[in-house]
Every structure is written in C-alpha cells, then in structure tokens.
Amino acid sequence: MAKILIVEDEPKIARFVELELKYEGYEVELAGDGRTGLDKALHAGVDLVLLDIMLPELSGIEVCRRIRMESELPIIMLTAKDDVTDKVAGLDIGADDYMTKPFAIEELLARIRVALNRHSKKSAQRKLEVLEFGKLRLNLSSRSAYYGEEELSLTKKEFELLEYLLKNKNVALNREQLLNNVWDYEYFGDTNVVDVYIRYLRQKIDDKYGIHLISTVRGVGYIIKDET
Ligand code: CA
C-alpha cells in the first residue's frame, strides 16, 4: 500500500487525516513543519504528499517548489483559506491538486486515489522507454544514463535536459523552448540557466569522452545531431 506524507502543523488535522488514511490501509509519515516535510518527501520513500500551505520554517509553496526540482512525487496542497492566489501558485509550481480546509475526508481520499493512479500510469509508460544515441543510453524508468558501460552521474535537471535534446534530435532547439519544457516555471524568463546546464552536460559527456554530442546553433540554441 502507498505511503503518504502529511505535512501539517496543526496536530488535530494531522492526527485526523492520519487515522483516516491508516483506516484505508495507507502507511503514513508525519511532518509538522516545512523543512522536515521537504526532507521526508525526498528521503523517506513516500508515494504522495499532502502539503499544507501555511507552515513554519518553509511555506508549503516553497516545499512544493523544492520537491519538484528533484521529484515527480504527487503533491496535493491543503489550503486553510479559500485563497485563489495560493491555489494558483501551488498548481503553477507543480502541485497535482489542492483541497480547501475544512474538507470532506471522502473527497480527499478520492483525490489521493486519482493522483496515485495518474502517477503510476506515468511511471508505467516510462518503464518501456530507453533512449539510445551512439554509445549514449538513457533509461527513462530508472532515470539513469550510460556512456558505453559507464554510468554517468547526472543531476535530475541535467538528465531531463539531455532527455529532451535526445527526444528532439536533429531539431535546433532555442533556449526558451528548452526552458519551458525542461524547467517549467522555475526559471521563468531567465534563459542563462540553459547555457549553464549545457555546459555541465558537455563537461560530463563531450569533454570526458572526447566526443561532440551537443552542438551550438548560432543565434538559435542547441542541437544533438546524428552524424552525417
Ligand atoms: Ca498550517
């Protein structure tokens, strides 16, 4: 059964949701502040996060943003007030859904099931996928990359950038496209981050193995081209 993390600083609500989830058969982890919540979301092997917005240490919005830099874990935001700004902010930075407190537990349970299903379908699709280019191999299910037999140590964003370039090989991609597709909203408008990550990839692949994988297209952006 799935393990659910509740990040909530109001003990009564946390306890209530915990009992209901356990009754449904879920395993439950608790965190009473944003920092602990972020840590558990990334390191406690959880399958879904229920994330309050108004939290001590780190706000729910910030926790959500930081989880999304590392993971696609489903996140349902819990908003205390009926605040449209918070909801929009939450969804913009990658939350899957939100609920306004007080909520009916049946509705929360239904939304948890939907989010878990959607996520496992996405993962199942990923499992089938391996991208290959010359000696380079990207396993999209395990998110691991190899050059020949050697595993490359890529960060999540480096991996995603390489994945996007390979899926669009032989197409010149401009920085805005890369930013929109690989970073979503995190660095809105700041295309320098693309150049920085291209440099990281070149250090880890081109320079290391003495190949020319990623080409610069002057005035446009970047491309991975089949050798001609
Ligand atoms: Ca709160």
Q: What are the 10-residue block averages of pLDDT along the chain, 228 residues in total? A: 95 96 97 97 94 92 91 89 68 84 91 92 72 91 90 94 95 91 71 92 96 94 86
Q: Are 39 and 9 in contact (CB under 8 A)?
A: no
- Determine if the peptide bond prior to 11 is cis (ω within 30°): no
What is the whole-number distance in angstroms between the Cα of residue 46 and the centre of ligand 1? 21
Q: How far apart are CA 193 and CA 191, in angstroms?
A: 5
pLDDT at 62: 94
pLDDT at 142: 82
Overall pTM > 0.85: no
What is the whole-number distance in angstroms between the Cα of residue 9 and the centre of ligand 1? 5
What is the whole-number distance in angstroms between the Cα of residue 76 and the centre of ligand 1? 14
pLDDT at 122: 76
What is the whole-number distance in angstroms between the Cα of residue 99 and the centre of ligand 1? 13
Residue 178: which H helix or E strand, with range? helix 175-178
Query: Which residues, in sequence order, are bridge partners of residue 7?
Result: 31, 51
> In a 3-state reduction of DSSP, which class is residue 51?
strand
Structure tokens at 126: 């990923």
> In a 3-state reduction of DSSP, which class is residue 172?
coil
Q: How far apart are CA 172 and CA 188, in angstroms?
A: 21
What is the whole-number distance in angstroms between the Cα of residue 3 and the centre of ligand 1? 21
Residue 171: which H helix or E strand, with range? none
Phi, psi of 63 (to 5 degrees): -60, -45
pLDDT at 172: 95
Distance between first and last Cα of the chain: 50
Would strands 3-7 and 27-31 be described as parallel, antiparallel, or unpaired? parallel
What is the whole-number distance in angstroms between the Cα of residue 14 and the centre of ligand 1? 10
What is the whole-number distance in angstroms between the Cα of residue 34 and the centre of ligand 1? 10
Structure tokens at 223: 């491309």
Q: How far apart are CA 222 and CA 107, in angstroms?
A: 46
pLDDT at 184: 67
Q: How far apart are CA 20 and CA 103, in angstroms?
A: 13
What is the whole-number distance in angstroms between the Cα of residue 23 and the centre of ligand 1? 23
Q: One-letter amino acid identity for 162?
A: L
